[in-house]
Structure 1
Amino acid sequence: MNYFFKRIPSPVGELTAIASDTGLAALLWENENPRRVRQMSPQEDPTHPILLETARQLNEYFSGKRSRFDLPLDFIGTDFQKKVWQALLEIPFGETRSYAQIAHQIGHPTAVRAVGAANGKNPISIIAACHRVIGSDGKLTGFAGGLAVKALLLRLEATHIHRETKQAPLITDEKTGDRGNKFGYLV
């Protein structure tokens, strides 16, 4: 399979989008660890339609005009990883989930560490919203883009929701099931 890439400037640094003719396969950080995501040997094609659409939708996301991505995705990973990444796509804009909640959601309640590892290997950052996954205690935990970027993305989403609905974002507490804005970094 052939892969193509386009560099996309963003408020969180230059992102590299990689696509096949099937869909977006990766969205990599400026200082990406080369061992985190499977290497695809893409060739540059800044006019590839999936890459152009990815850039357009990311620009809308960062400017507060988009809360949901609508792109064809071409995840490359194990079946377990793909289950985790699919679960990331289901986390609503402006909300968070814990690794344990994701493990329960995909039917592997004791696989919290494996969920964390799969989350860390998510090749399509931001779009498959791994930044919305936090520790069970509500604290920010590992993120390939860095914890400062994770906090920035969560604040961006919280600000957009607050502006649109005049409400603070809702967070589901894993232990109690209560929903509310309990984690200060989302204010």
Structure 2
Amino acid sequence: MKNKVVIITGVPGVGSTTLTKKAIEKLEKEGIHYEVVNFGTVMFEVAKSENLVEDRDQLRKLDPDTQKRIQKMAARKIAQMAMEKPIIVDTHSTVRTPKGYLAGLPKWVLEELKPNIIVLVETTGDEILMRRLGDNSRRRDLETTGSIEEHQFMNRCAAMTYGVLTGATVKIIKNRDNLLDEAVEELVSVLK
């Protein structure tokens, strides 16, 4: 399973991190090992090693050419890790900005990562909104269910585009309230 790169993505509050953790625990018991990396964390590590930033929030403030270079380097680093063991990349398919949606995985990142599978974790806009309202550990912009559903639609469009560009399969997993175990089983079967 070397050279296997799986991208797992979803809007904030959909539960992709929890889902991934539970699936990894189950796979570990079966002797299947993945390393989970967060793309933003790897970008931060690369930028910090070049003395460009001191904290992760400063990444957004780098000029676009520097950001692009750091993205490429981070993707290359993850691709090198995948030569040793299968990798799950936790990242955003799209990022909502005041000026519109930004691709989370631009072409130059995909060319380095060469993902095999892209997993999109979704649920209803209502469920995501309620999860966000119940999460006091994060400060998120208040959105409507309509804007959350629009964001999920944009993620689907982007994920299919990423699949077209790379040949990766795209899998949508529903992470509904009180049905986490079903979503975990579905993710486990994708990762095997």
* TM-score normalized by the length of structure 1: 0.31
Richer in strand (by share): 2
- Larger RCO (CA under 8 A, 6+ residues apart): 2
